A and B are shown apart, each in its own frame.
Chain A
Amino acid sequence: MYTLIKITDSPLRTRFLLYFIILTTAPVLVLGAVAISLIDASHRRDVSALELQLINQKIEETEKFLERTLGVLEVVVGYDQKVDIELTQQNFFLDGLLSENDAFEEVSFASVDSAAYGKETAKKSKLYKNPELFTVALLPKFIEAKEGKTYISEVYYTLKGPFVTMSAPVRNRNGIIVEVLSAEVSLQEVVQSINAGSIGARGGIVLADNNGRLIAHREPIFASGAKIGNIFSIKRVLAGEKVDALQPQDRYESLFYKEPVVGAGKKMPDLGWAFLAEWPLSDADAVINGVRNQVLILTLVSILGVLFFAPLVASRLTKPINALKSGAEEIEQGHFDKEVSIATKDELGELGLAFNRMAKGLKRLEELKNEFVYIAAHELRAPVTAIKGYVSLLVEGRAKGGVTLEAAEFIDRIDRANEGLVHLVNDLLEVARSDAGKIEIAVQPVSLGAVVKDVVATMRILAEQKKITFQVQGEIADLHVLADPDKLKEILTNLISNAIKYTLGAGALAIKYELDQGMVITHIEDTGVGISFEAQKKLFEKFYRVKAAGTEEVNGTGLGLFIVKQLVQKMGGKIWFVSQEGKGSTFSFSLPRVS
């Protein structure tokens, strides 16, 4: 079972990172998609325009060719002739037509005169001499032309390519039709025009007649005259559908190219021929695909860039905050000197400067407090010492008698209270000195065993009172440490008295030595109440006193361990402890060994 963590619970840096990635990649992606879509749409319009332009051009060329050719046939003879033109003139004229027009393969006159109605009167062919003459009265080319209309037949396909039959009336000066002139017209010029039409490197045009037969295409896939009207794209053009390269069906697998193409087509108005431009997509989209890939790569690179820089930016943003956090932690530890450095000139930078000012202020407060404590303790010492002296006199007086029993008891209480006060004042002074860096330590080689022996001797009574067994490890021969003898004594006294104080009822106390890389470690083990996990963290702080069941009666200033730590550190050693609540503690300190 997956459980999603709330985003707001995650580290600031990760959140920054996530938001940064989302906020930067989303627009990049959207921009990329929009860019590609826009480029694609514009490209599609361009392709459509190109194809339609080519088609229009080819339609125009074809229409011009047909118009021009038909125009040649529309002859007006220069006299009032009402009957057939003289035969020699006809033959002469036809010979001229054939020699002057490449497209004409065969030309003929047919009579409209009632005597020879619909009979071919003269005929000339490029292929052979003296063609057979027929009665063509029933052929549409004659019927249309004798009605005064020009005529273009459907396309027919010979071994020599596509042809149309054209005919036109021959009129005299008065507009009266005197002959029908018809021609077999090769569409070779149209074929060439279509074959010459190209889009891009490989795009081209397919021309199909109104019956769906192939007139021309530059890829010789189908023979001239092949029925291609059933091919989907041609069919659509012939049906008059909109085929403009923009419809969904306008991108298809071409039977001409045998690959996907984009097609646009148009039907020629009069004859209904279908012009279809086809452009293989591999060619038409070659450039656009390159652009598209570039946009995609750019998008990808941007995103990769974001992914690369996002962690850096997130780190940069959270760095000052982390600096402030560790600065605050230093202050919590009492280190007011550590300055937070934030190099930015924004609000965070200002916050850093404010933080440093605050730290300075706190430091000043701490100094003032220390000064106050020092002065107070110093000023208190004289009266307290005086009280102690007078109380001693009173106690002596009591011994000599002359003091009531009740008064003697009061004096005892005063003496004890004053003793505590003396102790407190001394401790405070020492703390103040330490804080002010005024503790003076004069180290010298000291026999550790001798000092321990000395301290133990004074402490043994206390231990025995509480039925605590005392065990000191056998002396290590000639164990000298570099220390201030008085301070060392103070350390040991403090630690051993703590061990005794915090052992409720009977117990065991052991002092052991250990050598470690030029240091001598002294362990003081007890079987006392131990220190709770909470308390362990604050044990060496000023005025901290362990509160545990059964220790309410224990006297103390809460300054002892603080002072001990300061002293050990000043003498170049370390102090630490291992403790388990209810089972006892082991305090250890190290001092440099003198060899």
Chain B
Amino acid sequence: MFKYLIAVLCLVFGALTLMYFYIGVPVIYDGAKDVILNVHRADNAEQSISKIYISAFYFVPKNKKEDIFTGWSTTLQEKLEALMRFHTVELQEKSELTYTIYPEPIIGRLNNIEYDTFITQHGNPEALRHVVPEIESRVFEANGDLFRNDFGTIPKDAYHVLVVMYEGVGSIGGDNIALISRTFLTSSEYAPVSESLLAHEFYHTLGLPDAYTLPEGTVTSQDIMGLGRYTPIGQTYLSQKSLQALGL
């Protein structure tokens, strides 16, 4: 008979336990997972840009030595800091940007006439053609005259970008290199938008194309690749289309 009693008691307390654990207890849906996004170059999905490393230079043609802007290092640093802030927000913290500035201005082996083109409407592809190989050979090659042990070690997995503040005319961005005239960064005329101009050239190095027509200059986007390059960095942005191209 006690078996019955014990069975009944077990049933009663079993029922209570079931009630405690199952009735009115929320079931948490299991499947709400985040998706990890991979940011990459706009024109090359294989090239990750989750880490970007900028080597920044002040490049002065040989005949412009007396024009050297004394506060160049601070200015360059300020602009790069602004770029970093902008990049962090726009890339939604998915791309980490770091930079180092080469401590000395690099005095070019040639005069400005050799680096510049007169038509700067298309940026200054001439400068890229001459300035970049010079920096690469003099700074990054072990036998270069400006090679330093404490500079030029690019972190592993990082996408390497050269940013050149150029003591000359024009600005242009291409594969891995963004060049911008020092004037854009220091003259009061461009002061409100100087950082945006630098950022514009920088985003070319990530493979984003211009968003305006040539030669009319009609903008096709309001973001930094179009109209936004002439908007203060605090007010400009990367459009959804640009971000999509970068994998966001």
Contact = CB atoms under 8 A, between A and B. Distances in A.
A157 B33 contact: no
Contact of B5 (A2, A14, A255): A14
Contacts of A255: 32, 34
A116 to B, nearest CB: 12
A585 B24 CA distance: 76
Interface stretch (A92-100, A228-236, A547-555): A228-236
Contacts of A470: none
Q: Which of B29, B30, B88, B90 has the most CB of A within 10 A?
A: B29
Interface of B is mostly: loop
Contacts of B248: 227
Contacts of B24: 36-37, 39-40, 288, 292
Q: Which of B19, B221, B236 has the most CB of A within 10 A?
A: B19
Contact of A131 (B220, B230, B234): B230
Pairs of residues from A and B, 9 with the lowest C-beta to C-beta distance, nearest first: A128-B192, A232-B32, A40-B24, A230-B35, A10-B1, A132-B230, A252-B32, A156-B237, A135-B218
A224 B89 contact: yes
A128 B190 CA distance: 11
How big is the A interface, by class? Answer: 35 or more
B117 to A, nearest CB: 23
A251 B232 contact: no
Interface string B87-128: 011101110000000000000000000000000000000000
B89 A159 contact: yes
A193 interface: no
5 contacts: A134-B218, A139-B220, A211-B240, A226-B93, A232-B33
A303 interface: yes
B1 A135 contact: no
Contacts of A4: 3-4
Interface in A14-52: 14, 17-18, 21-22, 25, 29, 32-33, 36-37, 39-40
Contacts of B192: 127-128
B189 to A, nearest CB: 9
Interface of A: 2, 4-5, 7, 10-11, 14, 17-18, 21-22, 25, 29, 32-33, 36-37, 39-40, 105-106, 118, 125, 127-128, 131-132, 134-139, 141, 153-154, 156-160, 163, 165, 184, 211, 213, 223-227, 230-233, 248-255, 260, 262, 281, 285, 288, 292, 296, 299-300, 303, 307
A227 B248 CA distance: 7
B32 A296 contact: no
B235 A230 contact: no
Contacts of A128: 192-193, 232
Interface in B208-248: 212-213, 216-223, 227, 230-240, 248
Contacts, number: 174
Contacts of B35: 230
Contacts of B237: 156-158, 163
B123 to A, nearest CB: 17
Interface of B: 1, 3-5, 8-9, 12, 15-16, 19-20, 23-24, 26-35, 37, 85-86, 88-90, 92-94, 192-193, 212-213, 216-223, 227, 230-240, 248
B33 A303 contact: no
Contacts of A139: 219-222, 227
B216 A135 contact: yes
A134 B92 contact: no
B23 A127 contact: no
A213 B27 CA distance: 28
Given A21-B12, A227-B94, A249-B29, 16 more contacts: A18-B4, A18-B8, A21-B8, A29-B16, A134-B218, A135-B216, A136-B218, A138-B213, A138-B219, A139-B221, A157-B89, A158-B89, A223-B89, A223-B92, A254-B32, A255-B34
A157 B27 CA distance: 36
A262 B26 contact: yes
A251 B28 contact: yes
A225 B16 CA distance: 49
A223 B93 CA distance: 8
Contacts of B30: 252-253
Contacts of A232: 31-33
B243 to A, nearest CB: 8
A33 B92 contact: no
Contacts of B12: 21, 25, 29, 303
Contacts of A36: 19, 23-24
Contact of B234 (A7, A159, A251): A159
Nearest to B4: A18
Nearest to A30: B15
B29 A248 contact: yes
Contacts of A5: 1, 3
B219 A136 contact: yes
B218 A251 contact: no
A29 B19 contact: yes
A135 B222 contact: no
A230 B28 CA distance: 19
A288 B213 CA distance: 63
Q: Which of A118, A159, A184 has the most CB of B within 10 A?
A: A159
B2 to A, nearest CB: 8
Contact of B1 (A14, A157, A231): A14
